[in-house]
Copies of this chain bind each other. A is one copy, B any other.
Amino acid sequence: MDAMALFEKTLTDALRKSDDPGCPPTLRTALFYSVFPSGHRIRPKLSLAVAKACGFANPDLSMASAASIELLHCASLVHDDLPSFDNAAIRRGKPSVHVAFGEQIALLAGDALIVMAFDSLATTAARKPELLAQLIQIVASSVGAPRGIVAGQAWECERKVNLANYHQEKTGALFAASTMAGAASSGFDPAPWKNLGMAIGESYQIADDIRDVCSTEEEIGKPIGQDELNNRPNIAREQGVAPAVRYLRDLIGEAIESMPECPGRNELCVQMHEEARRFLPKALREVA
C-alpha cells in the first residue's frame, strides 16, 4: 500500500470510531461527508514527505499526525463555509456541509473533527508518549489562538487588519505544522522546518489568489471570483497574474533552498518542486 493509500486508511479508521450506536446518525454521516471523498490532501502529503525525508522512524505516528492535520483542515473548511462566515454553498464540487445537513450539524461536525484530531493522535502516540506532547503542541498552535487558523479567521472581524498575520495564521500555520510534525514524528527537531512550511503556505495562498482570478469552477470545485465578491485582498487581482506567478516561483525556490539537512533532502526538493507546480491552474503550469 502506498503512503497516501495508507493515509486514507488512517483517516477512515479515525472516523470509524463514530460507528457506534451512541452516535446520532446524521452527525456520523456528516463527519464522513466532511472528510471524504478526498480533497488534494496537500498538507498530509507534505507532512508525510518530510517525515519520509527524515527517515520515517515512526510511520504510525507520522500517519497519525498527518491525519490529525487533515481533520483540523476539514473542520476549518466546514466552519468557514457557514452562513455567518463565507456562506459558501459548494465545497470540493458538492454542497457544503451546512447546505447538505443544516447549520447545527455543520457546527457540531466541525467541533467533533477538532476533538477527533487530538483523540486519534493521542491513541496512536500512546506507544511513543515522549513525542506526543510535542506533536500536540505543534498541531494545536497551528489551529487555535493566538497564531493559528482560528486567529487568522478572527482577523476578518477586525476593522484594522494585520495582513501579514492574517495570511500566516489562516494559511501558513497549518502548512508549518505539516512540515514540523513530519520532522518531529520521525524524531527530528521540528523548529528548523517551520520556515519551509510557512513559505509553502504563503505560496499556496498566492496560488489560491491566482486560481480565484483565472481558474474555472470545474477545476477547483468551488465558485471563482470569491475574493472580489467578499472584498478580500488578492495579489493576482491587485498586481496582475504574471507578476503573481513570478513571485510564487521565487518564493518556492527560496523555500526549497532553505530546507534543513536530512537523509532524503534531494528527493524531497524534487517532490516539492513538482507539488508546487500543481498549485497553479493547468493553463499556467508552463509559465511557472
Contacts and interface: CB of A to CB of B under 8 A. Distances in A.
B145 A28 contact: yes
Contacts of A112: 144-145, 150-151
Contacts of A141: 119
Interface string A2-35: 0000000000000001111011111110010000
B140 A122 contact: yes
B123 A24 contact: no
Contact of A115 (B26, B104, B125, B144): B144
A126 B133 contact: yes
Nearest to A136: B122
Chain A's interface: helix, strand, loop or mixed, by majority?
Answer: helix
Contacts of A153: 104, 108
Interface residues of A, number: 62
Looking at A103, A107, A137, the one whose CB has the most chain B CB atoms below 10 A away is: A107
A64 to B, nearest CB: 11
A158 B21 CA distance: 13
A24 B154 CA distance: 6
A79 to B, nearest CB: 6
B108 A111 contact: no
A58 interface: no
A130 B133 CA distance: 10
Looking at A18, A84, A165, the one whose CB has the most chain B CB atoms below 10 A away is: A84
B104 A150 contact: no
Contact of A84 (B24, B104, B157): B104
A17 B146 contact: yes
Looking at A119, A130, A147, A158, the one whose CB has the most chain B CB atoms below 10 A away is: A119
A180 to B, nearest CB: 14
Given A28-B146, A102-B157, 9 more contacts: A20-B146, A108-B150, A108-B153, A111-B114, A112-B144, A115-B150, A119-B140, A122-B132, A132-B136
Interface of A: 17-20, 22-28, 31, 75, 79, 82, 84-85, 102-105, 107-108, 110-112, 114-116, 118-119, 122-123, 125-126, 129-130, 132-134, 136-137, 140-141, 143-148, 150-151, 153-158, 162, 165, 168-169
